[in-house]
Structure formats: structure tokens, C-alpha cells
């Protein structure tokens, strides 16, 4: 299918992770031709979010030792290469993950298995023996180290898990019908509706402090964390007594593996979960480029901390500070004063000058803050360790505070359906402007010329494709290109549980930074995702644990502090019970330093790092873009087709003004490239900037540009092109 690609592009990008996707979109946006490739059969690479089946499949794929799943065509080098050119082999598969352990922590209920299930089981076994015929898969499984690991923690060997998985998907046809009818009943009854939104409401009296602006139509179903009007609050109070009756019943279901597996579609499990600072560069970019409209976001409703063995909500905003029972009156003053200083710390350098370059904790100590307050500021607000300098601590604290008031009482956002949606939204932007996409496909070799400059690639389909610039995620590159020294690992766990961290709030999206006794310099970051974030079906909560890997510890050792502190250990504590877990280690290259051997027109991009947020890839992509295209605008606002509303039979008044808009538009995109007619069409003639002096916008109270008879506009605009 991918054999007939065009033979030349301005830019070839390998990998559809975050920085690559942002970069690809930026290039495409200014009219560069972009080929964007991923060797995986899914978008977003190591930044991806998966369904439950998807992540189980991913685990299996990680075991396949090289890119055998990619078919590789033979190439006749002599016929493809020009004089003086030579080839450099590329790896077909990355080895970014290791120590992968996947496991259900619960067993199927001991009900008599239905006939149907038995049947499926047999079939699955069959599938497996077939699969074992494949030597690669088998050797992967027989890998000694692998088996030892599994034994060590008493993990079921993988095939069992996969059994369940297939089992469920095979029986799902029958069961689905029931499911649907049940769901429908639920959702069609207005009382149920009320109840469920009510249950999501935490504490009605706190509601007014949080203020996420929502769309009108949503108001009826808003959750507690999104109340922005008194009316809504009233509604919630009215419903309050109804909720308690349902509370117990709903609280935590007794899940079995097959029940969880049956809901596999409803999971969105992130390999690299990233929150967004509300005032951070990613959010800024999403807005300025107008890509925000492709995605939806939830607020991280609270920051938690473990204080003297107890989980507490960190007071962040002024409202929190005043209402918090954790801080005394004296401490309130202290904290307020300190945070107010941090907002404008640059203006008072005398306060911190002598601590520049010294640890932030020393600076905090000098401020005579109480232990509690120091703990909040260091671990929850700035999320720094004792190694971080005062400059860094102040910068992070300020960023947090600036982010606080933008979308309500929260500093962070979470992308609905997982952060794997973000690279995809940039890919879509790239495709809309003509970027060509190929998945499950990659470059097998780089073509270099006499001077060592990259001329293009040979694809796994054996085709030569030339390019001016070659940009790749670093694990795509030949070994010679990366220095091994700065490669480190991150320990990760994804846990599914039956209830939230704190019993009362079912829809809180929480963050928690846990300093660990074994090495305080490497805290564990915990992210709690409720079903409302679309990470899991109703009744299941997703926890992401992230920590820089220790040198000698295993992934379990790295994360055990958090697992012990937060999750159920004995039957009678009421902490969340872990139902399913996936542990793994992820390689990352902190800084991709350029080795001398990297051709000057080849650039490497880092994979996901240990940061909790997604601002780093924005910088990486932006820096490279400005380097390659000095003077060009980085992802300017796209002409917004959403502002074009088509209305049947309305007057065609808009046409005149839109022409000029279009001219501007084409001038913009034409800077770097000849405008051929098809390109122009691709940039959609009907686009028009709503901000421009547009009579139609004034004469009509419809949003944006209203196009009465768009046909005419199109014609005019097309003429416009021809005139040029």
C-alpha cells in the first residue's frame, strides 16, 4: 500500500510521538511537504494511550525482538543509489521498554463457567499453539530472565492473560446486546441521570470555588468540580439526599477479570501520562494554533500529599489556604505571604540572591516556614527535590501559581481519553495541511552522499524517498548517532483499582508527589484518573506511578513505597484494591546530544521523559523549527473551518470580504512554496479569519464567518487564485 509514495518530500519525520508530531504539523502548516512515518501500527509511539486489549497487544509486541513484524522488501542498491551515495542501516525496532510485567490481581468468580466460556477457552488455546509456531514469539517467551521475573512476583504467565482477553472478545458479541440495553436504560432515565452526576459531586459547599467554564448545554450534567453558577449549585443541593442512598451500592463493585476484560474498549491507558500546566507552553500552543478544538480537557481537581502517613489535600489557592484545616492561622499568613512573594519573585531579588544555585530547600528553611508549609511548597506546589536549586524551585512555584487561576482552582489539565490524544491532534493538523501519513512502516536505511549529507531514505517497502531534512525520534536512529551515556530509565506502573484514593470523591482527578525514604531525590509521581476522565469504565480508577529508575533496584522496588502507602494491603482496610497492574521500565534520553557522526541535515528528538507535564516537547519542536525555518511563524492559528457555519438559504453577503481574507491567507502559506492549484484547494478556500474586518460577522449574530452561499465564495476565491 505504501509503495507508491511520492519520491520526494521537504521533510521526512520518523516517529509520531509528541515532539515529532508538533514539528511535523508546524512544517506542514507553512506549506512544506511532510512525510510522517511510524514503525508502530498506532499513532503517538511511546506517548500512546491504549485500550485494555491494545495495551495487552502492545506488551506482546514488545517481546518480539526485532522488527520482524515489518515486512522488508529487498532493494537493488545499484539501481537506487546515485554516484557517490552510500547507505546507513537503521534499526527496525526500538528497545525502549524492559521489565514488563502485566497481571490481574483478582480471580474470576467461582461461578460455574458457562458453556460458552469453555468453548472460547478452547479456541484460544488453539490460537496460542499456532502462535507458538512462530519461532520469534517462542524464543521471546522462553527468555530466561523473563520467566524468572514472572516467577518472582508470582505473576501469571502472559498467555493466561491473553486468554482472558480473547475469551472476552469472542464472547462479547453475545454479551454486548445485553450491555447496550442496560446502558440505555440507565441513560434514558432522567432520575438516574441526576443521581449519577450527583454522586460525582464532592462537597457542595466547595463547589463555588472551582470554576471551570463550561458550555451551556453541559450545565445540566455538570460535576461538582465544574460548577460556575448559583443555579447549578442549587440543583446539586436539591439532589443531595438522593445520592446517599445510592452511595453504598455504587461504591465498589467486586470485579472479576472477565468483567474487566469485557469493558476493554473503555480503557485509555497511557504509556506516558502527561498533565498540562494551565499556563504552560503546551496549553499556549494548543490555543494559538487552534488545535485545542480537536481535543477535550478535564481539570486536575486537586493536589494531594502524604502528611504524617495521611493523605491530605494541599491548599494551593488562596481559597484553599483559608479553608484548609491543616494549617493554623499563623501558617495561613506565612503561606499566603510566601506564595504572594513567589508570584513576583523576580522583583525582589534581595530575598533569594544568596541562595541562587543552592538547594531550594535551604532557601525555604531560611524563610522560617513551618514544617507543614515547607512540605506543601516543596513536594506539592513546586514538586522539587532537595537537589533542585532555588532558581528552579522559584520558577516552578511561580509556574504553578500562574497556572492556578486560569481554568478554575487548578494548576493542571488532563486530556480526555489520555495524553496520547495530543500527538494525534497535531498529526491531524499536519494531515489537514497535506502531510502524508504511513504507519507500520519505516526507513530501513539512510542515503548519504559523499559529503555525509542525508539525501533521503529507503523505506521498508524498498522505495527511495528524497528529502531536505530528516527528523527522527532518537530510537529510530542508527546506534552511531546517539551517545549511550545519557540514556536513563523511568520506572512506571499502571494500576487499575476498584475505588478512588479518598472514599468520598468518585470523580476527583488527583496528583500526588511522594518523596520516598530510600532516595528522596527521586519522588514517585502519582496520577489518579476517575472514570469521568475516560480512562476507565464506571467503577474503575486508573493510577499512574512514575519515578526515575534507581541504579540497582527493580521496577517493583522503585514503586513499592507508593503501592504500600496508597493501596490495599489487608482485606479490611478501605484503601483502593489493585485489580490489574502493568509495570515496566522505559528508556529515555535526557538530552539528545548531537554526535559528530550525525549528518548536518538530520535531527534527533527525545522520547517521553520523566517530567509530569508536556511542555518540554513543545520547546524541542519549536527550537528545531526555528532553526530550520528562521523567520517563519511556528504553528500560527489555522484558518478555522469551525467558524464557518453553513446555513441553508441565507443571503450571500459574505463573499466580498472573504476574498481579501483569502488573499492574506495564501500569501502566508505561499512564502516557502510555489502555490499550485491543488495545494490552494487543500488550504481550503473557504477559510477565513474571524478576526478580520468582516461585515458578515457583524451583520449576523452567528458565530465566526457565516457563509450563506458558500458556492459563490468558492468560485470567487478560485478566480482569485487564477488571477494571481
Partner 1 sequence: MTASSADKRKADLKVIILGDFAVGKTSLICRYIEGKFRAHETTIGAAFFLKQWGSYNVAVWDTAGDEKYTGLQSFYCRNAGAAILAFDLNHESSFESLWARFLPLLDNANEDCLKVVVGTKLDMLQPGSREVTQEEARRFAREINSNLDQKKLDRDPYFETSSKTGMNVTEMFEFIYQYCLPLSEDKKISSLATKRTSASTSTVDLNKPAVSAPQRTKCCFR
Ligand X SMILES: Cc1cc2nc3c(=O)[nH]c(=O)nc-3n(C[C@H](O)[C@H](O)[C@H](O)COP(=O)(O)OP(=O)(O)OC[C@H]3O[C@@H](n4cnc5c(N)ncnc54)[C@H](O)[C@@H]3O)c2cc1C
Q: What is the rounded distance in angstroms from the CA atom of residue 505 to the CA atom of residue 325?
A: 18
Restricting to residues 701-720, name those near partner 1 by CB under 8 A. Answer: 701-704, 710-711, 714
Residue spans of beta strands (DSSP E) within 117-266: none
619 contacts: CB under 8 Å, gap ≥ 6: 281
Torsion from C-alpha of 561, 566, 567, 571, nearest 10 degrees = 110
- Neighbouring-strand partners of residue 487: 589
Restricting to residues 50-109, name those near partner 1 by CB under 8 A. Answer: 51
Take residue 146 and report the three cell numbers written for it. Answer: 523473563
Q: Nearest approach, Cβ of 339 to ligand X (angstroms)?
A: 10
Restricting to residues 132-191, name those near partner 1 by CB under 8 A. Answer: 176-177, 180, 183-184, 187-188, 190
- Neighbouring-strand partners of residue 103: 581
Given a contact cutoff of 8 angstroms between Cβ atoms, the answer to whether 590 and 483 are in contact is no
Backbone angles phi, psi at 344, to 5 degrees: -125, 40
Interface residue with partner 1 among 311, 645, 675, 721 (CB under 8 A) is 645
Q: Nearest approach, Cβ of 343 to ligand X (angstroms)?
A: 12
Q: What is the rounded distance in angstroms from the CA atom of residue 466 to the CA atom of residue 443?
A: 12
Interface residue with ligand X among 106, 127, 336, 721 (CB under 6 A) is 336
Is 326 near ligand X (CB under 6 A)? no
Given a contact cutoff of 8 angstroms between Cβ atoms, the answer to whether 431 and 291 are in contact is no
Interface residue with partner 1 among 312, 421, 508, 661 (CB under 8 A) is 421
Residue 713 DSSP one-character state: H
Other beta carbons within 10 angstroms of residue 692's beta carbon come to: 14
Size of the site for partner 1 (CB under 8 A): 109
| Distance between first and last Cα of the chain | 37
Interface residue with partner 1 among 80, 106, 160, 214 (CB under 8 A) is 214
Of these partners, partner 1, ligand X, none, which one is at the site of residue 126 (CB under 5 to 8 Å by kind)?
none
Is 635 near partner 1 (CB under 8 A)? no
Restricting to residues 433-452, name those near ligand X by CB under 6 A. Answer: none
Q: Which of residues 34 and 628 has its CB atom nearest to partner 1 in the complex? A: 34
Q: Which stretch binds partner 1 (CB under 8 A): 74-82, 361-369, 543-551, 635-643?
A: 635-643
Interface residue with partner 1 among 87, 106, 123, 294 (CB under 8 A) is 294
Q: Nearest approach, Cβ of 204 to ligand X (angstroms)?
A: 15
3-state secondary structure of 562: helix
Is 250 near ligand X (CB under 6 A)? no
Residue spans of beta strands (DSSP E) within 95-227: 97-104
Interface residue with ligand X among 322, 642, 691, 715 (CB under 6 A) is 322
Interface residue with partner 1 among 31, 67, 435, 609 (CB under 8 A) is 435
Interface residue with partner 1 among 644, 654, 688, 717 (CB under 8 A) is 644
Is 433 near partner 1 (CB under 8 A)? yes
Beta strands at 8-14 and 34-38: parallel, antiparallel or unpaired = parallel
Given a contact cutoff of 8 angstroms between Cβ atoms, the answer to whether 104 and 579 are in contact is yes
Is 325 near ligand X (CB under 6 A)? no
Of these partners, ligand X, partner 1, none, which one is at the site of residue 190 (CB under 5 to 8 Å by kind)?
partner 1
CA distances from 28 to 19, 94, 484, 528 (A): 14, 26, 32, 36
Is 323 near ligand X (CB under 6 A)? yes
Q: Give the H or E element holding residue 188.
A: helix 158-188
Binding mask 290-319 for ligand X (x = CB under 6 A): ----------------------------xx
Of these partners, partner 1, ligand X, none, which one is at the site of residue 332 (CB under 5 to 8 Å by kind)?
ligand X
Q: Which of residues 215 and 571 has its CB atom nearest to partner 1 in the complex? A: 215
Given a contact cutoff of 8 angstroms between Cβ atoms, the answer to whether 543 and 562 are in contact is no
Torsion from C-alpha of 656, 661, 663, 667, nearest 10 degrees = 180
Q: Which of residues 203 and 340 has its CB atom nearest to partner 1 in the complex? A: 340
Is 22 near partner 1 (CB under 8 A)? no
3-state secondary structure of 446: strand
Q: Which stretch binds partner 1 (CB under 8 A): 354-362, 367-375, 416-424, 447-455?
A: 416-424
Q: Nearest approach, Cβ of 361 to partner 1 (angstroms)?
A: 22
Q: Which of residues 327 and 443 has its CB atom nearest to ligand X in the complex? A: 327
Q: Secondary structure of the chain: what % helix, strand, coil (to 5)?
A: 45, 20, 35
Restricting to residues 529-568, name those near partner 1 by CB under 8 A. Answer: 532, 534
Q: Nearest approach, Cβ of 330 to ligand X (angstroms)?
A: 8
Q: Give the H or E element holding residue 526.
A: strand 524-529
Q: What is the rounded distance in angstroms from the CA atom of residue 33 to the CA atom of residue 673?
A: 9
Is 202 near partner 1 (CB under 8 A)? no
Of these partners, ligand X, partner 1, none, which one is at the site of residue 534 (CB under 5 to 8 Å by kind)?
partner 1
C-alpha closest to that of 416 among 233, 216, 276: 276
Q: Which of residues 296 and 600 has its CB atom nearest to partner 1 in the complex? A: 296
Q: Give the H or E element holding residue 125.
A: helix 115-132
Is 318 near partner 1 (CB under 8 A)? yes
Given a contact cutoff of 8 angstroms between Cβ atoms, the answer to whether 436 and 470 are in contact is no
Q: Give the H or E element holding residue 615.
A: helix 615-628
Take residue 219 and report the three cell numbers written for it. Answer: 450545565
Q: What is the rounded distance in angstroms from the CA atom of residue 60 to the CA atom of residue 449?
A: 39
Interface residue with partner 1 among 109, 253, 265, 619 (CB under 8 A) is 265
- Whose grid coordinates read 489557592? 317
Restricting to residues 438-457, name those near partner 1 by CB under 8 A. Answer: 438-441
Is 692 near partner 1 (CB under 8 A)? no
Is 296 near partner 1 (CB under 8 A)? yes
Q: Which of residues 118 and 322 has its CB atom nearest to ligand X in the complex? A: 322
Q: Nearest approach, Cβ of 130 to partner 1 (angstroms)?
A: 20
Of these partners, partner 1, ligand X, none, which one is at the site of residue 409 (CB under 5 to 8 Å by kind)?
partner 1
Q: Which stretch binds partner 1 (CB under 8 A): 313-321, 362-370, 449-457, 609-617?
A: 313-321
| Site residues for ligand X per CB under 6 A | 318-319, 322-323, 329, 332-333, 336
Amino acid at each position: 500500500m505504501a509503495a507508491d509514495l511520492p519520491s520526494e518530500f521537504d521533510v521526512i519525520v520518523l516517529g509520531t510521538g509528541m515532539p515529532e508530531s508538533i514539528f511535523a504539523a508546524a512544517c506542514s502548516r507553512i506549506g512544506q511537504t511532510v512525510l510522517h512515518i511510524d514503525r508502530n501500527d498506532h499513532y503517538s509511539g511511546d506517548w500512546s494511550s491504549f485500550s485494555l486489549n491494545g495495551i495487552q497487544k502492545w506488551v506482546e509486541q514488545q517481546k518480539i525482538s526485532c522488527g520482524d513484524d515489518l515486512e522488508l522488501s529487498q532493494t537493488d542498491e545499484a539501481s537506487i543509489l546515485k554516484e557517490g551515495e552510500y547507505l546507513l542501516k537503521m534499526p527496525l525496532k526500538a528497545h525502549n521498554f524492559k521489565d514488563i510485567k502485566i497481571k490481574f490481581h483478582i480471580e474470576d468468580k467461582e461461578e460455574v463457567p458457562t458453556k460458552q466460556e469453555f468453548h472460547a477457552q478452547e479456541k484460544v488455546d488453539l490460537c496460542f499453539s499456532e502462535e507458538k509456531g512462530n519461532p520469534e514469539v517462542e524464543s521471546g517467551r522462553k527468555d530466561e530472565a523473563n520467566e524468572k521475573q514472572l516467577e518472582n512476583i508470582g505473576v501469571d504467565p502472559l498467555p493466561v492473560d491473553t486468554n482472558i482477553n480473547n475469551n472476552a472478545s469472542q464472547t462479547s458479541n453475545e454479551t454486548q446486546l445485553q450491555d447496550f440495553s442496560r446502558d440505555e436504560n440507565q441513560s434514558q432515565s432522567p432520575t438516574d441521570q441526576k443521581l449519577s452526576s450527583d454522586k460525582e459531586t464532592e462537597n457542595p459547599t466547595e463547589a463555588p470555588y472551582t470554576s471551570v467554564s463550561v458550555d451551556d448545554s453541559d450545565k445540566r450534567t455538570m460535576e461538582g468540580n465544574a460548577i460556575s453558577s448559583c443555579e447549578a449549585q442549587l440543583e446539586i443541593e436539591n439532589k443531595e439526599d438522593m445520592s446517599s442512598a445510592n452511595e453504598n451500592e455504587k461504591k465498589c463493585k467486586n470485579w472479576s477479570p472477565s468483567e474487566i476484560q469485557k469493558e476493554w474498549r473503555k480503557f485509555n491507558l497511557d504509556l506516558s501520562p502527561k498533565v498540562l500546566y494551565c499556563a504552560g507552553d503546551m496549553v499556549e500552543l494548543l490555543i494559538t494554533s487552534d488545535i485545542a478544538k480537536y481535543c477535550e480537557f478535564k481539570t486536575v481537581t486537586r493536589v494531594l500529599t502524604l502528611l504524617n502517613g495521611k493523605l491530605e489535600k494541599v491548599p494551593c489557592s488562596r481559597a484553599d489556604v483559608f479553608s484548609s484545616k491543616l494549617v493554623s492561622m499563623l501558617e495561613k499568613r506565612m503561606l499566603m505571604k510566601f506564595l504572594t512573594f513567589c508570584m513576583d519573585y523576580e522583583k525582589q531579588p534581595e530575598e533569594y540572591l544568596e541562595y541562587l544555585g543552592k538547594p531550594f530547600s535551604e532557601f525555604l528553611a531560611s524563610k522560617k516556614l513551618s514544617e507543614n508549609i515547607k512540605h506543601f511548597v516543596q513536594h506539592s506546589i513546586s514538586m522539587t527535590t532537595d537537589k533542585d536549586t532555588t532558581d528552579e524551585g522559584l520558577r516552578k512555584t511561580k509556574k504553578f501559581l500562574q497556572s492556578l487561576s486560569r481554568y478554575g482552582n487548578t494548576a493542571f489539565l488532563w486530556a480526555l481519553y489520555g495524553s496520547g490524544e495530543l500527538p494525534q491532534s497535531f498529526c491531524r493538523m499536519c494531515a489537514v495541511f497535506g502531510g502524508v501519513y504511513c504507519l507500520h512502516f519505516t526507513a530501513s536505511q539512510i542515503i548519504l552522499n559523499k559529503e555525509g549529507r542525508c539525501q533521503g531514505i529507503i523505506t521498508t517497502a524498498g522505495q527511495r524517498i528524497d528529502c531536505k531534512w530528516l527528523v527522527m525520534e532518537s530510537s529510530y536512529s542508527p546506534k552511531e548517532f546517539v551517545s549511550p551515556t545519557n540514556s536513563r530509565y523511568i520506572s512506571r506502573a499502571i494500576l487499575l483499582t476498584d475505588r478512588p484514593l479518598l472514599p468520598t470523591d468518585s470523580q476527583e482527578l488527583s496528583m500526588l508527589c511522594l518523596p520516598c525514604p530510600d532516595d528522596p531525590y527521586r519522588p514517585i509521581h502519582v496520577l489518579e484518573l476517575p472514570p469521568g476522565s475516560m480512562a476507565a469504565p464506571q467503577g474503575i480508577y486508573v493510577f499512574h506511578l512514575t519515578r526515575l529508575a534507581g541504579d540497582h533496584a527493580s521496577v517493583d522496588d522503585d514503586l513499592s513505597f507508593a503501592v504500600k502507602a496508597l493501596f490495599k494491603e489487608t482485606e479490611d482496610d478501605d484503601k483502593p484494591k489493585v485489580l490489574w497492574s502493568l509495570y515496566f521500565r522505559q528508556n529515555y534520553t535526557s538530552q539528545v546530544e548531537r554526535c559528530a557522526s550525525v549528518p548536518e541535515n538530520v535531527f534527533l528528538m527525545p522520547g517521553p521523559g520523566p517530567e509530569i507535564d508536556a511542555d518540554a516537547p513543545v520547546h524541542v519542536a519549536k527550537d528545531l523549527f526555528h532553526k530550520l525555518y528562521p523567520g517563519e511563524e511556528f504553528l500560527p492559528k489555522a484558518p478555522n473551518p469551525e467558524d464557518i457555519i453553513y446555513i441553508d438559504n441565507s443571503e450571500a453577503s459574505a463573499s466580498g470580504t472573504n476574498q481579501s481574507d483569502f488573499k492574506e491567507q495564501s500569501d502566508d502559506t505561499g512564502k516557502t512554496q510555489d502555490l499550485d492549484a491543488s495545494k490552494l484547494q487543500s488550504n481550503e478556500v473557504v477559510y477565513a479569519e474571524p478576526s478580520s474586518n468582516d461585515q458578515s460577522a457583524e451583520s449576523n449574530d452567528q458565530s465566526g464567518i457565516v457563509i450563506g452561499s458558500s458556492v459563490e465564495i468558492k468560485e470567487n476565491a478560485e478566480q482569485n487564485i487564477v488571477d494571481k
